Structures are given as structure tokens and as C-alpha cells.
Amino acid sequence: MVSAQKGQVRVITGNATGAYGAMLCRPDVIAAYPITPQSEIAEQLAQFKADGVIDSEFVEVEGENSAMNVVLAASVAGGRVFTATSSYGLVFMYDALQETSGFRAPVVMVNANRETPGIHAVSSGQQDMISARDAGWVQIITENDQEILDQIIMAYMLAEDNDILLPVMVNYDGFYLSYLAEAVEIYQIEDVDKFLAPLKKQSPRQKLVPGVSQGCGTHGMEMGYVEARYKHTQAMERVKNKVDEIDKKFGDYFGRYYGGQIEEYRTDDADIIIIASGSATGTARTVIDAKREQGIKVGLIKLRLFRPFPAERLIQALKGKKAIGVIDRSICFGWKYGPICMELKVLTQELGSVPILSYIDGLANLDITIPHIGRVVDEVNEAAKGKPYQDVTWIPMEE
């Protein structure tokens, strides 16, 4: 492969970008149920089907649980599949989510992050993906519209790799990215075909064929169950390097690199590090630049891969740093820290006794603002100097 041709640049929303990303990968079967703030994807894909832009089988379902079961079945039958959801929809397919990962079905799903049931909130927040953290899916978080498109293409490359065979959830902040109109380069479909072509050269994965009797699925007794779980976790471990490899290949071909599991921004000579994910990382970059001009040696780590957790890359990037601040757009019932911060705390042995400050912000459509991130940088900087610090800060509660 050399490099891709120039694509068509259009000003479209994150949701429309999701639909274009799916279209470019030519799924055999699509099933999706509309839900705020994802509805536009389901609508756009239906429009593509009506206009003959895609020849996918488009299954109109009566809810998200059916959507996931439809794409699971189609995937197990050997097809490439796509679905999209958010919040209540993700929760409504919770059993099917686990079935899908148990089947090791390479389903690709877009999730427009939104707060979950309990407190009815039609608003942004990553609580939905966090609630599905242990469902056995690969979970990746994106920062802007172009990355949504690019990550969907990379997600198929990852999910359908014979070394992986796991479902992949591509997340983006609902409202903030789902409705964000930006200029997006939509690649030539022939180029996406070429990029994904290596998948066809693999030996075909095991599939269910009508009339052929064979065992398949998530029924495992005792050792059968243990072995399936063991292999699943091993595959999860392999995801990490594979994400980095695919990112490199994607960048070499399409010209955009995202850093794989994590992206490091101005971290090389940094004393302190801010960790963020999703749309807030864009804002954080501007704050990092401004604070650098004030003489604070701060860097940013954008967490792209949340499941599996990129422990090794983080240890490497955080070694020797004097303090770390983690911004979470969700909460963790049972721990006072935010979920990403909680995961990072597991690495304490490798990182040493470095202060790790947890920040909760951006729940329920509240903004993760420039002053908020500025405050995080200042407080982490003080902690690095040995000053006492607050373990966990709910930023909106202190305003």
C-alpha cells in the first residue's frame, strides 16, 4: 500500500460521520434503533439504504436489545455488522452485549455517550460506557468528528483480526460530538476497501451455517467456561499492541495518526501530567499550551483505549512525573475516585508514591471549561511541589 487518495471534505456532525464511517466499511447487516443523541446515525444509515448508497441488509428493530441480537446473529453467521446506540439503549441491550463478547463476535458499535438511567438525564456524560466496562468489549474513546470516522475503520481492522475476534465499542461524547459539525474528510470507499483487504486474506473465521450441526456460543460448563474466559482475557491483552499497530498502518495510509492506545501531548519534558478522554482533550490541549507559556511544564495524555486498560503505555509515559491529575466525565459507585483515576491507582506500585488527583467534571451536559482545566493544572502543579492536596474534587460542586 502506498497512500490513500484525497477524500471529499464535508461539514457534517459527529453522528453523520458515524454513519459515513459505517458506510465506508460496507457492513453486510445493520440494525439500529434511534435514541437521543444518536438518532441521526440510524436515520442517516436508513437514508443511505433508501438511496442505494449501501447494499447492507438494514433490519428495522423495535428496540436496542433486538438490534444487538440481530447483529450478533449476523456476525456469528460470518457477516460484517454495525449498530449504534446510547445510554438507555446500551443498558437495554446489556444481556446481549455480554452474549456478543461471549460469542467472540466482531461486532462494531458506536456509542454516543450519555448519562444512564437512575436520574433521567438527556445529557452528555460517559456513564453509559463505564456501566458496560466489564461486558468484555473493547472500548475506545474519540476526540473529534474525524477521529470517529477513522476509528470506525480501525475498529473493523481490530475486531475482525483473527488474533482478536472481539466486539469493539467506539465512543464519542453525546451532544458535544454527536451534534458537532466540523469539516471531515470522507475517504474514497475503494481506499477503505484496500485498507481492510488484509482481513480477507486471513483464514475464514468459524461461522454458523444453516443445516450444519456444530457447537457455538456461550454455553460452557466448568472447564469449558473457564477456558473460554481465559482465552477472552488473553485476546483482550493482545488488543493493546494491535491497537498501536493498526494506528501506525492507518496513519501511513490515510495520513492521520492518533497514538494508538494513548496519545501523548507535550509530555516529553513535562513534570506533571493531565489525563483526559473524549472531547475534553481538545479543550485541554489549549490549556496545556497556555500553561506552558506561563512556565508550567505540563503535558496531556489522551486516553483512547479504556478497555483493555493501557497499563504498560501509561506506566511508560508517566514514569518520573511529579504529579498526575485525572479528569473523569463519569463516576464510580463504590470508589470515591472517577473511573479512569481508579484504574490508574492500580498502577501505584509501578508509578511510585506520585500524587494522583481525581477530578469529576462534565456530568449531565455541564461543560469541562477552560478555567476548570486550568484549575486542575494549577492544583496538580502545587501537589507536585509537595503541597497538601484534595484527593477527589467534584468541580461543579465547588463553583
Question: Interface with other proteins by CB under 8 A: which residues?
Answer: 9-11, 13, 36, 121-123, 144, 173, 175-177, 179-183, 279-280, 282-283, 285-286, 365, 367-370
Q: Is 202 exposed, middle or buried (0-12, 13-18, 19+ CB in 10 A)?
A: exposed
Q: Residues 6 or more apart from 277 whose CB is under 8 A from it?
A: 126, 141, 302, 303, 304, 306, 327, 329, 340
Half-sphere exposure of 114 (CA within 13 A, CB side): 28
CA 39, CA 24: separation in Å to the nearest integer? 19
Give the nearer residue to other proteins in terms of CB position, either 75 or 123.
123
Give the nearer residue to other proteins in terms of CB position, either 108 or 368.
368
Give the nearer residue to other proteins in terms of CB position, either 128 or 160.
128
CA 347, CA 150: separation in Å to the nearest integer? 30
Give the nearer residue to other proteins in terms of CB position, either 156 or 175.
175
CA 12, CA 20: separation in Å to the nearest integer? 10
CB of 221 to other proteins, least distance (A): 47
Give the nearer residue to other proteins in terms of CB position, either 34 or 217.
34
**DSSP label of 87:** H
CB of 303 to other proteins, least distance (A): 16
CA proximity to 335, closest of 258, 290, 392? 392
CB of 361 to other proteins, least distance (A): 11
Give the nearer residue to other proteins in terms of CB position, either 181 or 346.
181
CB of 281 to other proteins, least distance (A): 8
Q: Which three cell numbers stand for residue 162?
A: 483473527
- Can you say whether the dihedral through the CA atoms of 304, 124, 381, 298 is positive or negative? positive
CB of 283 to other proteins, least distance (A): 5
CB of 285 to other proteins, least distance (A): 5
